[in-house]
Amino acid sequence: MYLGLDLGTSGVKAMLIDGDQKIIGSASGSLDVSRPHSGWSEQDPAHWIRATEEAVAGLKAKFPQQLAAVKGIGLSGQMHGATLLDADDKVLRPCILWNDTRSFREAAELDANPIFRKLTGNIVFPGFTAPKLAWVKNNEPEIFAKVAKVLLPKDYLRLWLTGEHISEMSDSAGTSWLDTGARKWSSELLAATDLSEDQMPKLVEGTEQAGMLRGELKSAWGIPGDVIVAGGAGDNAASACGMGTVAEGNAFVSLGTSGVLFAANASYLPKPESAVHAFCHALPKTWHQMGVILSATDALNWYSHIAGKSAAELAQELGDTLKAPTGVTFLPYLSGERTPHNDAVIRGSFIGLGHESSRVVLTQAVLEGVTFAIRDNLEALKSAGTSISRVTAIGGGSRSRYWLASIATALGVPVDIPADGDFGAAFGAARLGLIAATGADPVAVCSAPKTEETIDPVTSHGEAYEAAYARYRAAYPAIRTIGH
């Protein structure tokens, strides 16, 4: 048996799989976020351990014999969090999370130093780890002086599981301290934030062994044999391992609260000015690119509150057959935008409204607006050297066949819908635990789920979609002059 542990922002999920990758069961423990000031987002690392213990206890209660047979554990986690430890591994302050924006000034200052984009392949975003340490140095110097180790959230969990300070490439690529092409810490980038490699964990690949489960935990969980803990992955790379998005040309589109277009790459293809993330993947000699939009299903949920109808009712009114764009354009920048604009200030808008613009027309415009934002991500990925021939759709929004037809038509590629199952980060982490424990071929293990249905582009609407996308592209610079 193999155990995947996924440390998310709202909880820890534990999933058990067998040697044939059949899911035996899963359980979870919940987490809260503390927001002591505007723009702050923190968690107490002790709560991660409590939530993990709850999740594993849930599995032990239902599957004690299967848990006892665990040979490998894989870790996945929320990225970018700054967990600061002293020389005795004591936590110095609450962890500053990925969605904390207090270090925006420090991020801009680091990003102005050209070595950051050159070596990391990414913009220094306020959510990344390095600017958080710069903020601590500027605002909590007495804490900064005591920092002996900086760990990412899942790697603090590993310290508890194994007693080791180890991280892996995919999560570390989101710190702004990794030389992403060379897959190693950069002493130059660390020095720019007054840190050294001694304060970083050792690095392994996500598929490699990164410690053994401590005897005390083996006894508590009822596991008699040795248990290898894998390097694991950051949450998006772990989800990609669960989805089988690991080889060149494989891609998925995620329609969740935010939207992600994720492509696996066999080589390192940075283009930071496009606001595309270029990170190491969890598998050796593999990288990935990712475009992120901040409001996907969030945009439809916002509109549904105003329209007084649920998102499902609005989608039902629209029907399943793709319509040509109406001339009404929606920009989904309700909380700013990341790829391709890196613009925290911009806000959304409807353009082209007329007396004839019914609720259905506006629903259609909202879905198309998110679709065109994803097309923007595709264009950004293309400009960075990635080509995509098809995508797999995941996330809550992928239940709408209309939306998927819209995405297929705008992107000009087929959209595959996977057969039912849980292929998320916990499953991907369990796969990495299996690989580390058995030495199995990573690409063979990280296979794609069966495709239940494929949505093809509606070619008869191709020209109309291109014209509508051109209108959408022209709108951002126009509203930016008003909104900034």
Taking only the tens place, the pLDDT of each residue in 247-283 is 998 999 999 888 999 999 999 999 999 999 999 999 9
- Strands (E) located in 226-337: 228-230, 233-234, 251-255, 259-265, 277-280, 287-293, 329-331
Catalytic residue among 100, 155, 171, 235: 235
Residue 395 has what pLDDT?
86
Structure token digits, residue 100: 């904390």
- How far is 300 from 313, CA to CA, in rounded Å? 11
Q: How confident is the model at residue 484 (pLDDT cuts 50, 70, 90)?
A: low
pLDDT at 377 over 80: yes
Q: How confident is the model at residue 483 (pLDDT cuts 50, 70, 90)?
A: low
CA dihedral 168, 173, 178, 182 (to 10 degrees): 80
Q: Is 235 in the active site?
A: yes
**Residue recorded with tokens 């991907």:** 428
- How far is 278 from 103, CA to CA, in rounded Å? 21
- How far is 359 from 349, CA to CA, in rounded Å? 15
Give residue 387's region: left, alpha or beta (phi > 0; psi -120 to 50). beta
pLDDT at 331 over 70: yes
171-175, 234-238, 389-393, 418-422: the lowest-pLDDT one: 418-422
Residue 115 has what pLDDT?
98
**Residue recorded with tokens 């909104």:** 483
272-281, 341-350, 425-434: the lowest-pLDDT one: 341-350
pTM of the prediction? 0.90
CA triple 408-424-298, angle to 5 deg = 55
Residues near 20 by beta carbon (within 8 Å), at least 6 away in sequence: none
Q: How confident is the model at residue 421 (pLDDT cuts 50, 70, 90)?
A: confident
Contact call for residues 176 and 116 (beta carbons, < 8 A): yes
Residues near 63 by beta carbon (within 8 Å), at least 6 away in sequence: 16, 24, 25
**Would strands 251-255 and 259-265 be described as parallel, antiparallel, or unpaired?**
antiparallel
- How far is 213 from 230, CA to CA, in rounded Å? 10
pLDDT digit string, tens, across residues 194-232:
999 999 999 999 999 999 999 999 999 999 999 999 999
- How far is 242 from 26, CA to CA, in rounded Å? 15
Structure token digits, residue 444: 């063979």
pLDDT at 370 over 80: yes
> Residue type at 397?
G
pLDDT digit string, tens, across residues 93-141:
999 998 888 999 999 999 999 999 999 999 999 889 999 999 999 999 9
**Residue recorded with tokens 């601590």:** 136
**Helices and strands (H, E) in the chain, number of each type:** 18, 24
pLDDT at 244 over 90: yes
